[in-house]
A and B are shown apart, each in its own frame.
Chain A
Amino acid sequence: MAYDKFNILTSTAVPLPLENVDTDQIIPARFLKATERKGFGDNLFRDWRYNGDNSPKESFVLNNPIYSGKILVGGKNFGSGSSREHAAWAVYDYGFRCVVSSFFADIFRNNCLNVGVLPVQVSPEFAEQIFEEIYKDPNTEIEVNLSEQTITIKSTGVQESFEINSYKKENMLNGFDDIDYLQNIKGDIETFANGLLM
């Protein structure tokens, strides 16, 4: 599915400094019953965000009007667990375009890249600084520059560079996805398949 191009994102950020945030928290399994991709943002962090009677839990950060923005800053090992792409869809549909963490689970990171959410892995120290600055001033802006592969805390000017492979970077800058690429090399794939025993 096509998504918006990503180049420079400057935004305030939402802090969620918990470790091991798993995909069952990002979107519980009972909300995976759709046959279309829509409405997943409403159930992002459902059981942390709402009580059993659907009233908002005031203590949860997404219900705190002080914090908002297109960047979600999570704790270490963000997105562990299930392969459900619905987790990345929920993050995107809610309005986040970038997730920052000191460590990502593998499948979640891949899924993000495939749906137009940029996963930015930073050092634990840098993540700590972001949390500190946001808690000091929720209007703190973070700039994520994909071309330059840098992330900057605007108020302090502290910057770090991040890794992304050049193929995925090109895709995100242009809003392409892997199917576009694979369709163009179908001949190679068929030749390969013809040579297989099973």
Chain B
Amino acid sequence: MGKYIIKRLLMLIPVLLGVSIIVFVITHVFSPDPAPVVLGQHATEESMEAWREANGLNGSVVSQYIDYLGGVFRGDLGNSYYTKQPVAKELSSRFPATIELAVVSVILAAVFGILIGVVSAVKKNSIWDSGGRILSLVGVSIPIFWLGVIMIIVFSGTLHWLPSGGQIDPLLKPKSVTGFNLLDCIITGNTAGLADSLKHMVMPAMALSMYSLAIITRITRTSMLDSMKQDYVRTARAKGISEGKVLTRHVLRTSMNPVVTVIGLQFGSMLGGAVLTERVFAWPGIGSYIVECVQKSDFPVIQGAVLLTATIFVLVNLAVDIIYTFLDPRIKLGKKEG
């Protein structure tokens, strides 16, 4: 197991190299010169030249890439063209907001997704099943930016129940302890801030979880139906085990492998920044920041953010594989099965 994990972690290196080459080429070869954008209306040829020189954009793409890679190995992702702050600092200040949203959304999606999936499977072809299937179809098909805007119009614009965006009322923001807004509210005993943060969390978390919820519902249903046809389930029933136990111990548990994979993948992509959700709800995470940086041609930040996203994705996948071994004792990581 330990060996397997180390092997998988080593695999990160080629993955990240590949990813870094691709983004580097996209930003430095296929994108227009950032100098006029960064320097603005009064950019002159000389000032742009000086700026390119200062930001190492004058050498060949290959030498620029090697410089960049050297920096990455030293833990230096470069500085933002605009704020001059190290990219790592820029990203880490926004990452907690993304994690908070992703965690809440994935919990919502997993709990309700599995519940609805189980009901659909158990009551196959009933009205409950049809409802679940329609819900999952709608959830998968609905574009999140549309859903987000509709939610804002209904819950903020018309009903005035919820704030339309942001993470917390700026005047209620707690002192930063962990960087995680909800945790900081709890630690500092800021109940007004906590309530306000939860209010702000409702719509983005619901919108973001919708797609994952739909997928989890479908996978749970299919997987459950599959398991229910297995011989061991028939055997369990034949032994006289109660239906509840059959479902929870024999069907549900063995159906969970693909579900866990999907939850993991969804969580991974949410951590990479829910670009659309964050933007629509003015959520101050990585996703909305990436959009902003693409618009402003802030190359170092784009590169750093993509590397971060790729790393998270690989790590979450690894975590999913490890969880497998607990769910299904037959799987031994790193060993060929006979």
A binds B: no
- Which A residues contact B (CB, under 8 angstroms)? none
